[in-house]
Amino acid sequence: MTETSPAFAATEYAQRLAKVRRAMDAAAIDVLVVTDPSNMGWLTGYDGWSFYVHQAVIVLPEGEPLWFGRPQDQAGARLTTFLDKGSMFSYPDHYVQNPDIHPYQVLAGVLRDKGHGAARLGVEMDNYYFSAKCLETLRAELPDAKIGDATALVNWQRAVKSEAELGYMRRAARLVEIMHERIRAVAEPGVRKCDLIAEIYDAGLRGTPEFGGDYAAIVPLTPSGKDAAAAHLTWDDRVLKTGEGTYFEIAGCYRRYHAPLSRTLYLGEPPAAMRKAQDAVLEGLAAGLAAARPGNTCGQVADAFFGVLRRHGVEKTSRAGYAVGISYPPDWGERTMSIRAGDPSVLEENMTFHFMPAIWTDDWGFETSETIRIRAGADAECLADVSRELVIKR
């Protein structure tokens, strides 16, 4: 295979574009500048490790979107999208990381040339990839435009997954099953953490004879012992020790679609408090899965879960999950809905979440989670099949 290709059929991209334009109309936006690579990929298929420089997909009132980026990345746009070459624009390479000029000066010129210099312009202000300098440049270059915040406008259109998207997530779930199987096979006292991480990557990327894996948006989070009191530590070259627990927050990834899954392993005899937390979390997970049905809200799912924790006397102050799907670093969440008290987001069939009810104390951490699909008439479906109980190796 000498060429890449878009991840979905052209008809699916057309449906997505229509959804986004309806949302733009509702928000009184004429032109949308999309900088989140997850949204760029979802709208056009564009896939490349180019998000460290300025790039965008621009949705106009009609016609296909425009791709805007570095010249050397235009070939990637041609290979991974359905866009016509005439819909691709780039800025000269000397604009890259040059403090005296900015790529959005060129982008503003493209919009002016297409008659949108005074448009109602939406930008993703609260996004990893849209900087204060981007906004300042657009305001200076397009003084007649009305620039407003369109953060998460596209993200919300991604919430309900198509059958093709679910197919990719199911493959990602198979990959994370293989990753956890490898962990359970090789983790033991004396194994260096870095070597264990190498095994995790090997399993997730090699995958199955039918399909391999992609890089996940978050690296494996795998702290041990008291380090596991922290939510987002990674790894080093120290060895695993008897008398310590390690949680593994990892995800299978296929065509940029993620299936996160956390499990906890203990070498030796787990403390009684960890076993108590496990009992509460497993019961709470079951209650939350039962509440995660179309028509209920994310807040109701959270209430079902946290109600169980309160009965067990277990405290947790952070949210218990979030929407997931297509993503790029540094986060595999969709940054829309959260499983937390008071979230009014109404669940619909084929929404997908990482139900992530982790417990962190001053001395240890315990994580067991599921990537779930909302389905009608039944508890939420868990996409992966990995036993939830604390893995104990003596």
Q: What is the pLDDT of residue 383?
A: 98
256 phi and psi, to 5 degrees? Answer: 75, 0
Q: Are 301 and 287 in contact (CB under 8 A)?
A: no
Tokens of residue 167, six digits: 């197919």
Are both 173 and 139 inside the same structural domain?
A: no
Same domain, 287 and 315: yes
Is residue 5 included in any domain, yes or no?
no
Q: Are residues 193 and 339 in the same domain?
A: yes
Mean pLDDT over residues 247-263, rounded? 98
Which H, E and C letters describe the chain, residue by residue? CCCCCCCCCHHHHHHHHHHHHHHHHHCCCCEEEECCHHHHHHHHCCCCCCCCCCCEEEECCCCCCEEEECHHHHHHHHHHCCCCHHHEEECCHHHCCCCCCCHHHHHHHHHHHCCCCCCEEEECCCCCCCCHHHHHHHHHHCCCCEEEECCCHHHHHCCECCHHHHHHHHHHHHHHHHHHHHHHHHCCCCCEHHHHHHHHHHHHHHCCCCCCCCCCCCCCECCEHHHHHCCCCCCCCCECCCCEEEEEEEEEEECCEEEEEEEEEEECCCCHHHHHHHHHHHHHHHHHHHHCCCCCEHHHHHHHHHHHHHHHCCCCCCCCEEEECECCCCCCEEEEEECCCCCCCECCCCEEEEECCCEECCCCEECCCEEEECCCCCCCEECCCCCCCCEEEC
Answer yes or no: is 1 within a domain: no
Whether residue 239 is found in the same domain as residue 377:
yes
pLDDT value of position 5: 83
Q: What is the pLDDT of residue 3?
A: 66
**Is 188 domain-assigned?**
yes
Same domain for 79 and 202?
no
Dump pLDDT digits (tens) for 15-61. 999 999 999 999 999 999 999 999 999 999 999 999 999 999 999 99
Both 260 and 345 in a single domain? yes
Residue 313 in domain = yes
Q: Is residue 149 domain-shared with residue 185, that is, in the same domain?
A: no
Residues 231 and 84 in one domain: no
* Domain's final residue, options 137, 157, 177: 157
CATH code of the domain covering residue 302: 3.90.230.10
Residues 215 and 308 in one domain: yes
pLDDT score at 2: 47
Domain identity same for 349 and 208:
yes
127 and 172 share a domain? no
User: What's the pLDDT band for 107 if we cut at 50, 70, 90?
Assistant: very high
Q: Which structural domain, as residue segments, surrounds residue 261?
A: 163-393
241, part of any domain: yes
Q: For residue 1, is pLDDT > 70?
A: no
For 131-160, b/e burial (b = at least 16 CB within 10 A) is eeebeebbeebbeebebeebbbbbbbbbbb
Tell me the mean pLDDT in the region 66-74.
98
Q: How many domains would you assign to the chain?
A: 2
Residue 234, CA distances (Å) to 247, 249, 250 in order? 10, 10, 11
Domain annotation covers residue 2: no
CATH number at residue 28: 3.40.350.10
Domain boundary among 88, 123, 157: 157
Which of 101, 123, 157 terminates a domain? The answer is: 157
Mean per-residue pLDDT of the chain: 97
Instruction: Read off the pLDDT of residues 292-331 as tens digits, 9 standing for 90 and up.
Output: 999 999 999 999 999 999 999 999 999 999 999 999 999 9
In a domain, 143, yes or no: yes
Question: Does residue 318 lie within any of the structural domains?
Answer: yes
Same domain, 214 and 310: yes
